Amino acid sequence: MFGLSTAENRDEAGEPTHKAEGELVLVADNRPPVEPNQSDASRSQRRGIGAWLRIFAVVVDAVAISAIPLVWVALYSPELSEVEQRSYIKLAALYSVIALLLVIPTQRRLRVATRPSQVFGSIVVRVGFAQMLAASLTWWATRVETALWAKITLATVAVLWIGRLISFKLTHSARERGFDLEDTLLVGTGSVGVDVAEAMLRNPECGLIPVAFVDRCQSDGPLPVIGRPEDLEVILEESQIRHVILGYGLATDAEIVAIVRKCSHLPVQFYAIPRFFELGIPTDRRGFEVDGFALSPIGKPGHYHAMWPLKRAFDLAVSSVLLVLTAPLMAFCALAVKLTSPGPVLFKQERVSTDNIPFDILKFRTMKFVADPELQAKLDQKAQAVNLDDDRITSIGKFLRKSHLDELPQLWNVFCGEMSIVGPRPERPFFVDLHSDEIDGYQHRHRVPAGITGWAQVNGYWGDSSLEARVRLDNRYIESWTPVKDLVIGLRTIPTLLGKRR
């Protein structure tokens, strides 16, 4: 169906031909290969030029931001005491660093180099905030006149604006000549997909250049079809293409979702063409348009997110503190379990976490102890959820379950890295196998560590509630994870501890 090559190919006479490293020969049926860019530059050369352009833009911003404060210090230094000179120099340096960090994100929206006019208001706010923050950190806010701050802000924005114009023009010129462009695949050969491909070919300033379609039928568009949607993972691995636009084709939405999730481990940025974009449905703050076609970037899910390491750091910090703070309470619970029924204090049960890796979850035992392992295994498979009126639950067990205190030992699972504070609730292997075959998307819950609490729980779904709704909520959490969302879920967990479901 498709052929991909990155090293040696043969011409019609059978003689080998060589392409530069990283270049593709994309073949679909008998159609000729498509040129992947608008110049003879290799992909590595195009990316190299793009990297230098980004570095140049940062340097220009740094010079523009630091120039005005340093010039002001140099002009007025004779009128200042030695102590004041050092203070103002420290203030100017700190301001320059903060302002640069704040304005760099406004340079691009992923591959799109933003026009200076698009971010003018944002730059003004960020520069002004940087000055106030720097003054507050150096304790000189009361010694600097408001009028002076305003003059420095206006002058900085003016110089920064000129620098942005220069950077934007250089980037635009380079892309028109075929540099700083990323090869892009389009999934779907429908009319919208074809129109988007043609729009991108007309507008190389977007930074993306379409090279081929992926669909189950041929296209009358300007590019060949090099494979089917289910082959996308293999195509991306072999071609090293980093950008994919999801259009409208023969594959269903459910199939596309599964395919994109399967490709999550690859360093690929996916974009979606929103349905009903003609009605003005807005893209997110990183989205952009190409000739009126809206493209919305799809974030990296779960542990492929750039800020995912913060989650583990948060888990370690919170679990360590809570293990110390709740130690007296856990000792009381353990004593209550031991005195009210024979058997071990802790209940261990095999559950499934990230990538279907099993682990032993810890809880305070709330049910009568069963010494026979085989009988216990049968009871484990008897029901997925145990109600409080089950006669196997002990008297103290009902209190521990209702108050959720039975789950306190799971803090040790979090500390060891087997679980997280926030994530999908872990399930037993038997039910994982069962539900993976019956419920669409269930297997995708295991892309992140299981959690003590989660998005489904704070929305009222646990125990014998709708499993389909829990799966949707869990996958929604994974796809849209941010550190702030974990914090929100943690705060919303507090009412659920009091027995409130919503």
Average pLDDT of every residue of the chain:
80
For residue range 228-250, list pLDDT tens digits in order: 999 999 999 998 899 999 988 88
Does residue 305 carry a pLDDT above 50? yes
Strands (DSSP E) contained in 330-463 are 346-352, 358-364, 420-422, 451-453
Q: Which amino acid is at 493?
A: T
pLDDT at 371: 65
Please give the share of the chain, as a percent, with pLDDT higher than 90.
23
Residue 63 near residue 163, CB atoms below 8 Å: yes
Q: Is the pLDDT of residue 476 over 70?
A: yes
- Listed in order, the ranges of the chain carrying CATH 3.40.50.720 are 183-299
Q: Model's pTM, two decimal places?
A: 0.73
- Choose among 377, 450, 464: nearest CA to 407: 450
Report the range out of 64-78, 371-385, 387-401, 440-454 with the highest average pLDDT.
Answer: 440-454
When pLDDT is cut at 50, 70 and 90, the band that residue 410 belongs to is very high
Q: Which of 6-15, 59-68, 301-310, 391-400 has the highest mean pLDDT?
A: 59-68
**What number is the average pLDDT over the span 345-351?**
89
For residue 334, the model assigns a pLDDT of 92
Q: Say how far apart CA 271 and CA 292 lie, in whole Å.
A: 15
CB atoms within 10 A of CB 269: 18
Instruction: Indicate whether 382 pLDDT > 70.
Output: no
Q: What is the pLDDT of residue 303?
A: 78
Calpha distance 82→469 (Å, rounded): 67
Is there a contact between 30 and 226 (Cβ–Cβ < 8 Å)?
A: no
Q: Are 327 and 412 in contact (CB under 8 A)?
A: no
Q: Which residues contact 359 (CB under 8 A, 6 or more apart)?
A: 350, 351, 352, 353, 413, 418, 419, 426
Q: What is the pLDDT of residues 90-139, one digit of tens each?
A: 778 888 889 999 999 888 878 888 888 888 888 888 888 888 888 777 76
Residue 459 pLDDT greater than 50, yes or no: yes
Q: Among the listed ranges 31-35, 241-245, 446-450, which one has the minimum average pLDDT value? A: 31-35
pLDDT of residue 168: 92
Q: Are 460 and 489 in contact (CB under 8 A)?
A: no
106 backbone φψ class: left, alpha, beta (φ>0; ψ -120 to 50) = alpha
With a cut of 60, say whether residue 32 has pLDDT above it. no
Cα separation, 139 vs 159, whole angstroms: 27
Structure tokens at 458: 């704070």
Nearest to 301 by CA among 266, 352, 353, 274: 266
Q: What is the pLDDT of residue 18?
A: 36
Distance from chain centroid for Cα 483: 10
Confidence (pLDDT) at 287: 72
Statement: 183-299 belongs to CATH 3.40.50.720: yes
Distance CA 222, CA 35 (A): 11
What pLDDT, on a 0 to 100 scale, did the predictor assign at position 116? 86
Please report the pLDDT score of residue 326 as a whole number: 92
Query: Whose structure tokens read 């980004």?
Result: 54
DSSP string, 68-126: HHHHHHHHHGGGS-HHHHHHHHHHHHHHHHHHHHHHGGGSEETTEE--GGGSHHHHHHH
What confidence tier does 278 reach under pLDDT thresholds 50, 70, 90? Answer: low
Residue 41 has pLDDT above 80, yes or no: no
- In this model, does residue 170 exceed pLDDT 90? yes
Residue 330, pLDDT score: 93
Q: How far is CA 197 from CA 27, 223, 267, 278, in A?
A: 18, 8, 22, 17
Q: What dihedral angle (degrees, nearest 10) is formed by the CA atoms of 122, 51, 233, 24? A: 140
Q: At 139, list the tokens.
A: 């304790």
DSSP percent split of the chain into helix, strand, coil, nearest 5: 55, 15, 35
Amino acid at 492: R
- DSSP 8-class letter at 37: S
Q: Looking at residue 379, what is its pLDDT?
A: 58
Is the pLDDT reported for residue 50 higher than 80?
yes
CB 69 within 8 A of CB 96: yes
Phi-psi region of 291 (alpha: psi -120 to 50; beta: other; left: phi over 0): left
Strands (E), 217-273: 243-246, 269-272
Helix (H), strand (E) counts: the chain: 16, 16
Other CB atoms within a 10 A radius of the CB of residue 116 amount to: 18
Q: What is the mean pLDDT of residues 324-346?
A: 91
